[in-house]
Structure 1
Amino acid sequence: MSHTKQKKHITPASNETLLTLLETLPGALFLLDDDATIVYANAHAQAMIGATRDDVCGKPLWRGAPQLVSTSLYQAVQKAKQTRESTEVEYISPGTNSWLHAWLSPTNEGLSIFFQEYLEPRSPQNAFSRNEHMYRDLLESFSDGVTILTPEGLVLDINQRPLADAHLQREEVIGKPFADSPAWSHDPAVQQQLRAAIARASRGETVRFEARIHPRSDLSLDILMTITSHRDTSQQVEYLICAGRDITERKRIEDELRTLVDAIPHFVWIARPDGHVIYNNQRLIDYLAIPREQVEGDSWIATVHPDDQQRVWDVWQTAIQRGVPYEVEHRMQDGISGAYRWFLVRGMPQRNAEGTILHWIGTCTDIDKQKQAEQRIKASEENLRVLAETVPQLVWTTRPDGRLDYCNQRYCEYTHATFEQLQGYGWRQFLHPEDVERSLALRHHTLATGEPFECEHRLRNGQAGEYRWFLARAMPVRDETGQIVKWFGTNTDIEEQKRTEEALRQSQERIRALIDSNIIGITSNEGEEEVLVDANDAFLHMTGYTREDLNSRTLSRMKITPPEHAPLFQRVLQEVATHGQHTPMETELVCKDGSRLPILAGAVTFQDHPRQMIGFVLDNSARKELEQRKDDFISMASHELRSPLTALKMHTSLLRRQLAMQGFQTSAPALSSMETQINKVTRLVEELLDVSKIQAGRLEYRQETVDLDALLREIADTMQQTHPSHSILVRGAVQANLMADRDRLGQVFTNLISNAIKYSPGAETVEMDLEASPETVTIRVRDHGLGIPREQRDKIFERFYRVTGPKQKAIPGLGMGLYIVAEIVKRHGGTITVESAVGKGSIFTVTLPKKRDTLD
């Protein structure tokens, strides 16, 4: 048998005399049961809330009569139910903005509430009335959204901020579960988060949490929600106060900051004022290879080398307690390899206007190579000095206080001074007077802070008396305790670089002057003949044509463009017809005097005038000249670098033999490293020479019979020996002899395999598939590496272009290899294409014709 309490409604059949009496009352009367459900509403009550008896009976008061609901009424109902004594309350109706006076009396089965409505409070001087006014004014004065809830989560009152965001009226939410409102019900996870918070707050907790809500379909907000409880005199939770602060802008800024932080090439962390780590960027997480939550708080100390943990912890605690910058060097474990690397960790306290620390922001900089170098320097001081005498820089070391205690012979020869004249602070006499103050101030700063030193200044040649620009760099050498024991520095001659920079600066100023002047020509063409009907003064000035020439209607596109560019313009016209505009193109204009003007041109048409074309012309002469100068400079620099590189290779080999004869075997690793770097620079110079020859049309090709299968397998064997980290697989055969330049074709596939290895550090294989058709041979080089974004694939064969991205940027190169490869393939009558997917690798496909009498 069910024991559910039967809900009763008072109907005309209940007691006709009683009902007649109730209906004649001058005010609104509601009868409620023990659950505050409406069982009766007289005619005045129905009129007050604008609903029929059937509409409200059987509904809770809070939902059936939302126009009457307020926090004050809710408190009075709870009080009457608990004490079983009559009470009254006066408040402003948020729905009608009028004053309501309610008398509440317990009945045998529930509660009766009698309402009288007034335009003004019955007792204007009454403190209660003033408090009610203050309550309403205060509620609406909050910039945050404020909602009053029952402990069960029903809405009792709400200010206008959340209603305006959701485009809702107050009566649409009063008496309904707050968690069911559109803003919260859009996302079930967020809705459950709110319900859990209400449950906790109803037990007396103060709950704070962040959430993303959707007040309406076209609006989403990030809010910081705080829910507190209000207790009655018996310390029971009477109602809940929910305050939602809009933090959308703050979250957007935080997201942008985190995106920026994740993009920079450093490990970045953020901690609370008490030192509790709350954020690590993705680079740091990837290095540690552990879940983010395991690094937060104080757990990060476990990633520090055991020998460093106590020292690091003491320095960190001191920084927190004193509020001073944090700096320490320690070893941190690579989560993938298990090896430890040295890092320089710095943290700065971020304060508000009052000086209170809001949080700490810090970085971890990998200094493992630096530490290894310092240890090698410490272990073999003499070998370092021998090395210092072979490099082209001026090399020097100082004590921790900055006093010079060593310089190489090249330094003495440049200054034409003895070591005794330079040691201590004697070297300062060779600084340019205009650079002394700036250089010494920066040097004093780095000596005080231990930061690496880098400065450009001029040094006087002691023999000639002239000043040349040098780039001075210095790094501190530390002992096991982290104390600086020495500074190691170099001065690199950058005089030519500075001259080049000055020349480029002057060129840029000239270009800026041209851009700022009226140099953009604008034309208007009409009809199938593309007759010029109008042009601005800049265009006329460029080409030498006059207004009379325009007015004569004798100028057309065919007359002012070179005949050999006709196919290009046909493609442009098709593009304009299809898209309404075309991408900028480089071409030439035939001027009135017959000369040709290099230009950058664009054009658009408008839907309402499809036969009219507006053209934009920019004088391209300056850029063409700059490109030529740049190519000339690259060519010149490449040639100039070959001689010193050759000499350096020779002296390195000589030094190796001399040291071997003297028994200095410990220098072998350092010399091998030098030779490796020299070979890298040599390859770069050779590629620069090839690029300059390609630009000048002077790259030479030999014509010989090439066994392509033998060539490709020879290249694969050679690359396999020099790159044992990857397996190079060759599949298939072309069985063809080509008329080609064997060395240049070798350069193509050596470059492609080298790139495949370089850009797939985490893979194990590189595959080369060979196949042939009656007319062509096809070679595909496949890797399983980083891949190339779709929007960048068309650009990788351009000169000096490199794929952007944090992982690709870490791989060395100048972007010349694929440009040279594409040019060689083109000269052999072939094509090269690429297919790629980010994170899955790339396939470069080279197609070459079998029969070809000569090279282009």
Structure 2
Amino acid sequence: MSHTKQTGRLTPAPSEMHLHILEGLPGALFVVDNDATIVYSNAKAQAITGTSPEALHGNSFWNGASQLVSTALYQAVQKTKQTQEPTEVEYVSATTNNWLHVSLSPTDAGLAIFFQDHLDPPHLHDALSLNEQMYRGLLESFADGVTILTPNGLVLDINQRPLSDARLRREEVVGKLFTDLPAWSYDSTVQQQLHSAIARASRGETVRFEARIRPRTDLYLDILMTITSHRAAAGQIEYLICAGRDITERKHAEDELRALVDALPQFVWIAEPDGAITYNNHRLIDYLAMTPQQVEGTGWLSGVHSDDRQRVWETWQLCARAGIPYEAEHRLQDGRSNTYRWFLVRGVPQKDAQGTILRWVGTCTDIEEQKRAEERIKASEQDFRLLAEAVPQLVWTMWPDGRLEYTNQLYQEVTQANLHLEGDEIWRQFVHPEDIERTLTLRHEVLKNGKIYENEYRLLDGRTGTYHWFLARALPVRDEAGQVIKWFGTTTDIDEQKRLEEALRQSQQQTNALMNSDIIGMNVVEGEQIVDANDTFLHMTGYTREDLRAGRLNVLSLTAPEDRTQARQAFEELAKEQALTPYEKEYLCKDGSRLPVLVGGAVFQHHPLRAVGFVLDNSARKELEQRKDDFISMASHELRNPLTALKLQTTLLRRQFTRQGILDQASALVNMESQIHKITRLVEELLDVSKIQAGRLEYAWEPVDLDALLREIAETVQQTSPGHRILVQSVARATVTGDRDWLGQVFTNLLSNAIKYSPGAETVEVDLCVYAETVTIQVRDHGLGIAREQRDKIFERFYRVADPRQKAISGLGLGLYIVAEIVTHHGGTITVESAVGKGSTFTVAFPKEKSGS
């Protein structure tokens, strides 16, 4: 959380000076009244919304600044208005993907809302808090359209489904009244229905209703809308959640079924809610050769074949009790000829608005010819299934109504389910949520028009729990009359193909982005010759496309003479490793000037004679580093003389206090000397860094007894840090060649750090070990520890760990940098192992033989 100072209360009529201050704020400022109407916005607020003051002022904040609206912001506004206390909130704008920090303060007439981009914004994927990720992921995971509203109906957030249907952008919707959106406003009756539902939900009711909406002029949808309210901790309603489920397909199916019952020349029957038959049309009565009275109730069962009767009765009773559609195939007796024919019997319950079954309406469709065709097909079924089990694809057959009839063994192994036995609903569970609606729509159209089916979708592999891309193809099998009697389909795994296509697409996008970059210079080389380059590279070097076409650009000729050996080594590395580790050098530009650059490269896999080079302008960083080094050198030298004089004066003052016996002042002097010592230490570190950067750190090489040196340093540090016990352990005496003073500085810094960063621990351990070729020294503490991602950075200049507890410990972040430089100059290495809250272990390793000079 940023610690931005809270914006104070604003008066209704700020002075010219106040306005000047507001316009100079580093972020966007809005002042709104109690109705959320914008009464003032500074220049940055107008810039962030891309709107003029005239368009903002007098407009609703939720509408005028829709790019900034989120549910989190709305809750913060409500909280500030209720408590009249300043509030802060951070969130990611769903429109701009910027990480925003917002400070809200009550004013005399409303609120001041102050926006700042995050001061040190991390990458969005890493920055999102767990709650933010869960909220956004959950919102977009719904197949339904989900909209978050204020209690009075303003849109705060919306997921992608309704935006896609309406072909609208989020910023065109947020901040507007939900009832005014095109999907609802096209019909005043529908609009009023929604308005009434929002009003009821804002009083705490859960409201459900069906409506036909028009997201755009060429699209109508039937939806089931559910509106629920969300309450704050204090019990008041904070916002409303509207979930709209698309029931267009269901409504169409119902309409078609009603038309079928009314119009088709079929056997039609009607039953009471409990399943008792009350009506049969004349065609059914004539077929059964029974009177209406004989058929009513359960009399119709006498016309069902005895082999089917028990199964049919149990199924019908189950559906009647559960209120679910009835469907069964069975044989009915022709009362005139006493022969039996196969029928498909279907029944659907008709319900009122409360869901109570009013009646059952059903049909009996003669499928005798279909059954005969099925018998003919059945003769070849065994051969087909043997073939289906042999091919390396998922094979399936389907009835004309979409029910699976058969899946081969491979299909069952992939899904870990026998889908044609477990039902069509089970199959839907294996299709990826993002593909199910498209797949079902296409499936419905194909079943309706009988055309060849082809679709790509992701299917869940039950063996691994992962989704794979499959290509499904199906052909209709028709009878002699041209009617579809079955579908034959195959499903082929195309996951690897999809991955290659996606990798190629991403590679092309990344290549285009790099080539069009105005930051990264890019060139394509064959050998040492540059054969292509982007505009950024040409601008860096001062050359033109004409120079490029004329072959005037050569990598070595562009490279400064002192860097050409390194450039040749880079070519060798590129040829051997197929990639080039980035390194620094200087280019000779066309006008004769020099340009510091950072270069890297990689070989084209499909064209091994060519490589692509990446070039970054390094001049700004080089200049900045030089300025920083100059400043460090100047500051450290300028501070040294006053400190020397100050130390001399405190020494004289101590002697005077001692002679005069003034003990109270002497105690204060001790504190002064302690602070002077700290400053002196910091200045010495700056001087050391300055010498290191200038290459002027001098070393006196001699044999150094590490065991004696470690014990001497430990004793000295122990005297200044009595709160910790320093334990030195060594298994053998070890001697290395080096500078004794600088090696002493290494272990002084490591021990001082170990004590500083383990304030709650009692001991620091130092272990000296001798191996065949190396000598190692380990300094172990039991303190705060270092996070894994920060371990490599702690040896950089001025780097401080970002933990608040460690920031409170004084220092410039130079000690470990100096340690690493001295160790490296002695031919050694330094590493660290650490865990947050469990302490750190620094390991220094030196070769037994001198490796520096």
For the aligned pair, the TM-score class normalised by the smaller chain equals: 0.3 to 0.5
Give TM-score scaled by structure 1 length. Answer: 0.40
Give TM-score scaled by structure 2 length. Answer: 0.40
